[in-house]
Structure 1
C-alpha cells in the first residue's frame, strides 16, 4: 500500500524535529523576502503616476529609486540566508538518514539480505535519500514562498480592483483540479522510477564485481541488452512524470494568459484605469505566473520524495535481527547440542530434519555430504543467522537464544571458503572489530600462525598495506591466509571452518593445516569439508544426506562401516 501524506510527514518530521528552530527562522526569512518582492507592483504603479505622468522631481525620483534598490538588496539577503540555512538542514537530514539506514543495515537479519539484492539496497542509501532531501528544505521553502506570494498578490489585486480579480476565483479551483488529476499518475511513475533505479544499481554492482566472468563468457551483449531495457524503462517513467508536470504548467499558463488578456481589455475600455493603476495590476498578475507554476510543479518533487520515502522509511522500519536474549556468554567451554532441530527457509521446503547432535567441549567435528545436504544451514543456525523451526541449540546447556547476540557471537571465529576482506589495511582486516584493542604483537603472531607473515613483509607498507576492494591486490591463497589469521587473532572458544584451505596449494595448505591444528587445541571446532583429506584427524565426522544425519564416527570407523562415507572416500582417492 503506497505511503500516505500523513505517514510521510510523520516519518520525516522525526528527522526535522531537531531543526525546527532553523526551519522557523528560514521560513521567516523567506516570508520577509516575499513581502518585499510583492511590494514591487504598487511601487512601480506609483512611479509611473507620480513621476512620468506629472512633473518629474529629483527628490521623489531618488526616494523611489532608493526604495527599489533597498527592496532588491534586502529581499536578496533574506533569500540568501534562507537558502543557506535550508541547505544546511537538508544535508544534515541526508546525513542523519544515511547514518540511521546504515546502522539499521548492520542490525538486519541475514534473511533480509537474502531477499533484497545488494544494488537495490545501495540505491536506497544513495538515490532515494537525495529525493527525500528535496522535501526537507527545497519543497518546503518553495511552498511557503509561492503560496505566500499568491495570497499577497491576490489580496492586492482584489484591493486594487475586485471586478477584474473575480477571474482568479475561476483560476484557482481549475489549477487545483489539474494538480489532483496528475498526482496519482506521477506517484505511480515515481515509484516505478525508484524501483528501476534500484534494479539498475544492482545490475551495475553485479557486473562490476563480476566483470571477469562477463568477459570470459562473452556476456557483454546479454548484459547490455538487460541494462538498455532498464534504462529505457527509467526513461519512459521519467517522461511520464515530466509530461504530467508539463501539462499542469501549460494548463496554468493558459489560464493566467486568459486572465492577463481580460485585464488588458477591460482596464483600457470599461474601467478606464490610469497608466500607473494598470501597470500595478498587470505587473501583480504577471508576478502570479511564477508562484502559481511553482505550486503546481511542486507536486513533482513531492511525489518523487514520497515514493523515495516509501523505500527509505520502509528500510528504517524493518525489524531488527531478533535479540531477546539477556545473558552474557563469557568464556564458554564450548559444549554444543542440537536437540531435535528442524529448519526450512520457507514453508514448502525442509532443509534439516530432526537433527540431534552432541558436540563435546574441545571436540573437532566435521560435516560432509553432497551439495544441499544441509551442512551450511547447520552452521547458519549455530551462528544465529536463522532460528530453528523446531527444536533448540544449546551451548554449555543453555539455549543460544537466551544469550545477548553480540556476546554470543564474540565467542565464535569463522573462516568461509568465500573469503570476504574489506577495503582496509592488512592490519585492519586481521584485527577486524578489535583494531583499537588488539596489540601489534598479537596481530603479527596471528599472521605468522596463518603462514601469512612472509608475504605481508614483502609488501611495501607491510601490515599497513591497503588491499583494495575485497583484497583485489592479493592472490586467492593470500586472501584465505588473511582470513585464517583473522580467525586466529579473535581467539574464540568456538571455531567454524568452511573449506578454510580451499584456495591454497598443497605445500601452503599443509603449513596452514598445522596452524589450524594448533589453533584447534582447547577449542570446539566445526569443519565443513569437501576434501576428505582435510578432516581425517577430526574427532568425529558427521555424514549428512537430504538434511538428516546418516552416519557419524571417526575416519577409520566410517571406513570400516562401508557406508556413504566409504563411497565418498573411494570416489575422491581411488578415481
Structure 2
C-alpha cells in the first residue's frame, strides 16, 4: 500500500462515496449555490457605486433593502443543506470503515495480532478513521464551497475588466507549484503523526494492562521517560505540519498581494485602462481581496485532506490483509470435555526456538489443569 500513488488511494476512497450519490448531489448544489450567491451579491458593487452613488439613482438601493434579507435566508438554507449532507456522508463513511476494520480484527489469525501492537490497531480504528472523517466532510466542504467561490470571483473579475485580471494567469502556476510541493510534505508528516499516535496508544495500553508489574518492579521512571519521548515526538511532528501549513498560506497570500499591487499600479496609470469606472475598479479590488480568504482556506484544508489520504493508506493496508481461512471439515454438536495433546510443538513467528516442544498430556472431563515450569 505504501507504494500506491495518491490518485489510486483517492480512487479507492471514492468507492465509499458511491452509495451516497443523492446526498452528495444535494451537498454539491447547496455548497455551489452558497458561493454563487456571494459572487452575485458582490457583483452588484459596480451598479451600486456608478449608478446609485455616482448618478444619484437611489431606486436600486431601495430594491436591495427589500431583497437582501430573503437572499441571505436562502443562502443560509443552502449552507445548511451542503454542510449537513457532507457531514452525514462523512459519518457514514467512517462508520463503514470502522466496522470493516473491526470485522477484520476478529477474523485475523493470531500471527497478525502477535506482529501488531494492540495500541496501533486501536489507533487505526479511533484516530485514523477520524482523519478520514475530516477529509470526507470538513475538507470536502471547503474544497467545493471555497473552490466554487474562487472560480466565481475569477469569472466575475474577467467579466468586469479582463485587462486588470490578466495578472492571475501569471500567478496561477506559482500557486499550483506551491500546493503540489506542500501536499507531498503534508502526506509525509501525516503518516509520521499516525505512527506516533499508534506508539502513544501502545505505551498507554501496555502500562494500564501491566500497571501491577510496573509497581512491583519500580518501573515508573522508565515508563515515564519512554512515554515522554514518544509524546515529544508526536508534538514535533504536529509542529512540522503546522509550520508547513503556515508557510504555504503565507506564500500564497504574498503572491495574491503582488497581483493586487499590480492592479492598483495599472489603475493609477492614465491611458492603460480606458474603460475603467469607479464601480469597475472597486469591484475588481473587492474581488481580489475576497480571494485571499478562500485561497487561505483551500491551502489550509489541503493539510486535512492529505492527512485523510494518509489515514486511508493506513486503513487500506489492514483491509488488504487476508483473514484466517476456516479449513475445518469436522462439525461437533456436543463436546465431551476430554483434551488430548500429542506431540504438540509451537513456535512464535520469526523465532527459531520453540516455546512448546513435543507437548504430551491427557485431560479427563471436568478436570482442572495447572501448567507451570520447574525451578531447576
Do they fold alike, i.e. is TM over 0.5?
Answer: yes
Residue 329 of structure 1 aligns to a residue whose secondary structure is coil
Cα distance between partner residues in 1 of 2:215 and 2:130: 34
Quickly say closer, same or farther: Cα 1:321–1:277, change in 2 above 3 A: same
Report how far residue 320 of structure 1 moved.
0.9
The aligned counterpart of 2:234 is 234
1:337 positional shift: 7.5
How does the TM-score come out when normalised to structure 2? 0.89
TM-score normalised over the length of structure 1: 0.60
**Equivalent residue for 2:10?**
9
- Deviation of residue 307 (structure 1)? 1.6
Which has the larger helix fraction? 2
What is the CA–CA distance in structure 1 between the aligned matches of 2:117 and 2:362, rounded to whole Å? 34
Preserved contact between residue 26 and residue 81 of structure 2 (Cα < 8 Å): no
- Checking the alignment, whether the CA contact within 8 Å between 1:207 and 1:214 is kept in structure 2 is yes
Kindly provide the CA deviation profile for residues 505-545 of structure 1, in whole angstroms up to 9, marking residues without a partner as x: xxxxxxxxxxxx7724xxxx9x45238xxxxxxxxxxxxxx
Residues 138-217 of structure 1 mapped to structure 2, 5 A cutoff: 138-217=138-217
1:187-218 Cα offsets, whole Å, 9 max, x none, are 11111110000100111122223333333433
Q: Please state whether the residue corresponding to 1:519 is helix, strand or coil.
A: coil
The structure-2 alpha-carbon separation of the partners of 1:213 and 1:352, relative to structure 1 and needing over 3 Å to count, comes to closer
Please report how far the alpha carbon of residue 259 of structure 1 lies from its aligned counterpart in structure 2 after TM superposition.
1.2
Q: 4+ runs of 1 displaced by more than 6 Å?
A: 333-341
Matched with 1:27 is 28
Extract unaligned runs of 5+ from structure 2: none
Taking only aligned residues, the RMSD between alpha carbons, in angstroms, comes to 2.7
Q: Is the 8 A contact 1:37 1:72 kept in 2?
A: no
1:519 is matched with 366
Give the CA deviation at 1:335: 8.1
8 Å CA contact 1:338, 1:355 repeated in 2? no
Cα distance change of structure 1 residues 228 and 9 upon mapping to structure 2, 3 Å threshold:
same
Q: Quote how far apart the aligned CAs of 1:275 are.
A: 1.7
CA distance in structure 1 between the aligned counterparts of 2:164 and 2:146, rounded to whole angstroms: 22
- Of 307, 311, 318, the residue aligned with 1:308 is 311
Instruction: Verify: 1:133 aligned to 2:133, yes or no.
Output: yes
| Offset, 1:137 | 2.0
Partners of 1:530 and 1:309 lie apart in 2 by 44
Q: Which position in structure 1 is the counterpart of 2:91?
A: 91
Query: Which range is displaced more, 128-137 or 315-324?
Result: 315-324
Hey, what's the Cα distance between the residues in 1 that align with 2:164 and 2:203? Answer: 58
CA contact 2:39–2:156 (8 Å) conserved in 1: no
Alignment partners' CA distance in 2, 1:24 and 1:217: 60
Between the aligned partners of 1:338 and 1:219, the Cα distance in structure 2 is 38
What are the within-5 Å matches in structure 2 for residues 410-425 of structure 1?
none
Bigger radius of gyration:
1
For 1:18 and 1:99, locate their aligned partners in 2 and report how far apart those are by CA, in whole Å: 16
Matches within 5 A, 1:251-330: 251-270=251-270, 271=273, 273-330=276-333
Aligned residue in 2 for 1:530 = 372
Q: Tell me the CA shift for residue 131 of structure 1.
A: 0.2
Once residues 79 and 186 of structure 1 are traced to their aligned partners in structure 2, the CA distance between those partners, rounded to angstroms, is 29
State whether residues 11 and 313 of structure 1, in contact with CA within 8 Å, keep that contact through their aligned partners in structure 2. no
Q: 1:159-180: CA deviations, max 9, x gaps?
A: 2212211110111100111112
Quote the Cα distance in structure 2 between the aligned partners of 1:228 and 1:202: 13
Secondary structure of 2:362's partner?
A: strand
Q: How many residues align?
A: 372
Deviates more, 1:21-30 or 1:298-307: 298-307
Gaps of 5+ in 1: 358-363, 367-516, 532-567
Task: Tell me, yes or no, if the aligned pair for 1:37 and 1:71 is still in contact at 8 Å.
Answer: no
- Match status 1:365 vs 2:362: yes
